[in-house]
Amino acid sequence: MGRLLCRGAFSAIVWGLPGWRVFKARSGYLENFTVNEAEYNGLPLELDMLAGLDPPSDLRRFQPSDPASTGRDQLQGTRSDAIEAEGLDRLRKWSDHELVHVKRDWNGSADSLASAVLQRQGGIKVQGGPEYQDLVTLNRLDEILIHKTEIPWCEL
């Protein structure tokens, strides 16, 4: 079975933890890649953004925002392997930092950037201020919308 090549978007948000502070955010657009290959380009993009930062103490722990960074098992082919190898090589240079994986069912902030990129068919660089706050709000949306009870019990 051949690989289905298409257009794809990927995004990267440099989150400082704890507190989910946005340091930088960008998205990109590729053609003639599989969807998984396009999405996986978020990690190298994020590492490019990190390389340009003089990281404050709260950026010693960060989470890659790219949804495909959690799905390495879905990647196939030599291009995917090369993208993954580049990302891992670059991560080794950040030995004094901790790469944190936060599993979420939905990554609203990354999805929002990727959707905008697909509509424009071109990358986006988020400039800060209200745009950063929008990303934080989308990231925490499930906490806002899902009511959490203090006493975990139910009535039958």
First to last CA, the chain: 51
Q: Is 27 a domain residue?
A: yes
Question: How many domains does one find in the chain?
Answer: 1
Looking at residue 74, its pLDDT comes to 45
Region of residue 19 (phi > 0: left; psi between -120 and 50: alpha; otherwise: beta): left
Q: Is 151 a domain residue?
A: no
Task: Quickly tell me which residue has 């936060």 as its tokens.
Answer: 102
Q: Is 150 a domain residue?
A: no
Q: Which amino acid is residue 62, in one-letter code? A: F
Provide the residue range defining the domain that includes 130.
6-145
Confidence of residue 28 (pLDDT cuts 50, 70, 90): confident
Q: Is 132 a domain residue?
A: yes
101 contacts: CB under 8 Å, gap ≥ 6:
63, 64, 70
Looking at residue 48, its pLDDT comes to 80
| Average pLDDT over all residues of the chain | 66
pTM of the predicted model as reported, rounded to 2 decimal places = 0.58
